[in-house]
Amino acid sequence: MAITTSSVLDNATRLQYLEAMGIDVWVSRASADHQQAPVSDALPETIDSWELLQAEVAPCTKCDLCKTRTQTVFGSGNKNAEWMFIGEGPGQNEDQQGLPFVGKAGQLLTEMLRAIGLDREEVFIANIVKCRPPANRDPNPIEIETCKPYLLRQLVLIKPKIIVVLGRVAAQALLNTDEPIGRLRGKIHALNDTPVVVVYHPAYLLRSLLDKRKAWADLKLAMQTVKHIKG
């Protein structure tokens, strides 16, 4: 079994069933060394609610992205979803509509969901950062660390069975790693006991048809994982 560096895994039972599936599990360097996970990954323990969280996100001015956004993009879908999809950050269309993945990449994401038998309404879709970075640049590390707690709170509220993280920026941010996406995909990671599968970003797949096959393999890996969890 490949033991690598990018996630937090402390559930022996989960490990066992993933092992039984013959699936590589990544263990974070922090947990392997018995160190504390970074503070930003510690799940909040206070009682939280969607109302509270939405009321905090909507007027957020914690980083400079608030100066150029039209509105925050909280995320959309089923608040009890089994599947959570996480992208990088809103683009122009998302910034205008206040919804994630509504542009061309969003249309491909909808197709990818369909291919594995899911509707947008039954999953939850969110981003690492809730505000559009100007000119669609990558969010910077400060913006990511400032915004990530909102996403972690969404994860606690939803308790998905699986997280599918879309693209390099989101994968590296969520898994606290700088490994290239080619090494992150094709494996099961974990974030606080929830399995995480990395899939190429739909915007990238629109440009790189050759990697669609790998994306399909990763979606199948995610499906297989959920199937196994549900028994």
**Residue with Cβ nearer ligand URA (203 or 205):** 203
Distances (CA, A) of 97 to 60, 93, 94, 111, 141: 17, 6, 5, 20, 25
CA 194 vs. chain centroid, Å, equals 11
Shortest reach from residue 173's CB to ligand URA, in Å: 11
Q: What is the CA 37 to chain-centroid distance, rounded?
A: 18
Cβ-closest position to ligand URA = 87
Least distance to ligand URA, CB of residue 229, Å: 26
- CB of residue 127 to ligand URA, shortest distance in Å: 5
Shortest distance (Å) from residue 90 CB to ligand URA: 5
Closest CA to 91 of 78, 80, 105: 105
Instruction: Give whichever of 90 and 149 is closer to ligand URA, judged by the CB atom.
Output: 90
Q: Judged by CB, which is closer to ligand URA: 98, or 186?
A: 98
Q: Which residue carries 């994630």 as its tokens? A: 100
Query: Which single residue is written with the structure tokens 């990544």?
Result: 26
C-beta of 100 vs 195, nearer to ligand URA: 100
Residues that bind ligand URA (CB under 6 A): 87-91, 94, 100-101, 105-106, 127, 203
H/E element, 30 = helix 29-32
